[in-house]
Amino acid sequence: MKCVDVFCGAGALTRGLEEEGVEVVAGIDFDPVCRYPYEANNDGRFVLADVSRLSGDAVANMLGGDEPKVLAGCPPCQPFSTYSQRYEVRKMREYGLLSEFARIVGEVRPDVVAMENVPSITRHEVFEEFVEALEGWGYHVWYGVVDASKYGTPQRRRRLVLLASIHGPIELIPPTHETPRTVREAIGDLPPLAAGEADPDDPLHVAASLSPKNLARIRASLPGGTWRDWPGELVAACHTNGTGRSYGAVYGRMEWDAPAPTITTQAYNYGSGRFGHPEQDRAISLREAALLQGFPRDYSFVPPGEKVTFKNVGRLVGNAVPVDLARAIGRSIVAHLEAVLGVRGGAAT
């Protein structure tokens, strides 16, 4: 079977699919920063393209041959998130990219379609139209909201997964982990760092600097605690207003023996959520964020010798599909195509 990964980002979905025996021939993204991590860590080639201007024929040519074809895609989720809707970014151009993905599916007619996104996408008309279009083309559609921690991801992350097949019913495999993996299992063996320090052996294991007040705040923070544990002089003004009182996790520490909270594009920033290290006085490093997303420890995001920037790498990591969830998607596709077509995948052990 062959696959094209649309909106491929740094390659997390591709990596998971490849590890389960799906040959991903190409990843497509509009962001040139994605080229290096995609091609440095995966077998498929990177195609820099605006999906809204991409033809189905171009994608079909990438897939080629007579093998069963898989089209996977994770359209940008920001327009569908609850946070974004408060700022009316539903008018952003990305809102229409799910429709563009549907257009490409209709032009290519792959054997299997896979998509991952935020759970709230199901409340939008564009998602209903996507499902109706798939069913109109003869696809059997399954979708559901799953907890990535039940598939081996060491973080609490609820995501919408959709699978569709032209050959018959398809669904995501059952959860693979009864007990979630923990922060300790994912990052507990990394070298210690101070705020603002980088590991000389791994440029991605770098922690953002902290102001003197934030350094005092994290020292006063307990794993799993809130800003309510601090002395009064450290409490931020935003915490005392009407809305801020309910955001107890902001400026919080993770817990060693529990899954991490959802990793975002700002996970390196101590003040953006519960992103404080469980015991070291700093926010988690970029490498730690990547490991909590399921990326392998040697996954390279920046060319050798090039400066690591928190904004770029944080965005690549935070926007990624958790690799373990991607593997579950890949395993589901392989099992389905083996059952209906006798096609075998070359899954890694």
Residue pair 116/145 in contact (Cβ under 8 Å)? The answer is no
Both 90 and 197 in one domain: the answer is no
Residues in the chain where the model's pLDDT stays below 50: 79-94, 348-349
| Assigned domain for 142 exists | yes
Q: What is the DSSP letter of 73?
A: E
Both 13 and 154 in one domain: the answer is yes
* Beta strand residue intervals within the chain, DSSP E: 2-6, 23-29, 45-48, 69-73, 112-117, 140-147, 158-165, 198-199, 202-206
Both 14 and 155 in one domain: the answer is yes
Q: How many structural domains does the chain have?
A: 2
| Assigned domain for 264 exists | yes
CATH number at 163 reads 3.40.50.150
What the block records as the tokens of 327 is: 């593997």
| Assigned domain for 346 exists | no
| Assigned domain for 108 exists | yes
Q: Is 25 helix (H, G, I), strand (E, B) or coil?
A: strand
Q: List the strands of the sheet with 23-29, edge to edge.
A: 45-48, 23-29, 2-6, 69-73, 112-117, 158-165, 140-147
- Nearest C-alpha neighbor of 121 from the set 74, 70, 179: 74
Residue pair 255/278 in contact (Cβ under 8 Å)? The answer is yes
pLDDT tens-digit map of 258-307: 999 999 999 999 999 999 999 999 999 999 999 999 999 999 999 999 99
Q: What is the pLDDT of residue 151?
A: 98
| Assigned domain for 17 exists | yes
Both 273 and 330 in one domain: the answer is no
Q: What is the pLDDT of residue 77?
A: 56
Q: What is the pLDDT of residue 92?
A: 46
Residue pair 307/151 in contact (Cβ under 8 Å)? The answer is no
Both 153 and 282 in one domain: the answer is no
Both 310 and 326 in one domain: the answer is no
pTM for this model (two decimals): 0.92
Both 159 and 191 in one domain: the answer is no
| Assigned domain for 328 exists | yes
pLDDT tens-digit map of 6-37: 999 999 999 999 999 999 999 999 999 999 99
CATH number at 291 reads 3.90.120.10
How far, in Å, are 78, 85, 123 from residue 82 at the CA level?
9, 5, 11
Both 125 and 258 in one domain: the answer is no
- Nearest C-alpha neighbor of 212 from the set 184, 243, 233: 233
Helix, strand, coil percentages, rounded to 5, for the chain? 40, 15, 45
Both 191 and 44 in one domain: the answer is no
Q: What is the pLDDT of residue 237?
A: 79
Residue pair 311/286 in contact (Cβ under 8 Å)? The answer is no
Residue 1, Cβ density class (10 Å: 0-12 exposed, 13-18 middle, ≥19 buried) = buried
CA angle 72, 315, 110 (to 5 degrees): 5
| Assigned domain for 349 exists | no
Catalytic residue among 3, 74, 77, 238: 77
Length of the chain: 349
Residue pair 53/34 in contact (Cβ under 8 Å)? The answer is no
How far, in Å, are 7, 108, 233, 249 from residue 4 at the CA level?
10, 11, 54, 38
Both 190 and 136 in one domain: the answer is no
Tell me the C-alpha distance between 219 and 62, whole Å: 53
| Assigned domain for 347 exists | no
Q: What is the pLDDT of residue 78?
A: 52
Residue 77 falls in the annotated catalytic set: yes
Both 199 and 253 in one domain: the answer is yes
Q: Provide the domain limits for residue 267.
A: 183-318
Both 42 and 164 in one domain: the answer is yes
Tell me the C-alpha distance between 97 and 113, whole Å: 15
- Nearest C-alpha neighbor of 277 from the set 296, 260, 265, 262: 260
Q: What is the DSSP letter of 276?
A: B
Q: What is the pLDDT of residue 236?
A: 82
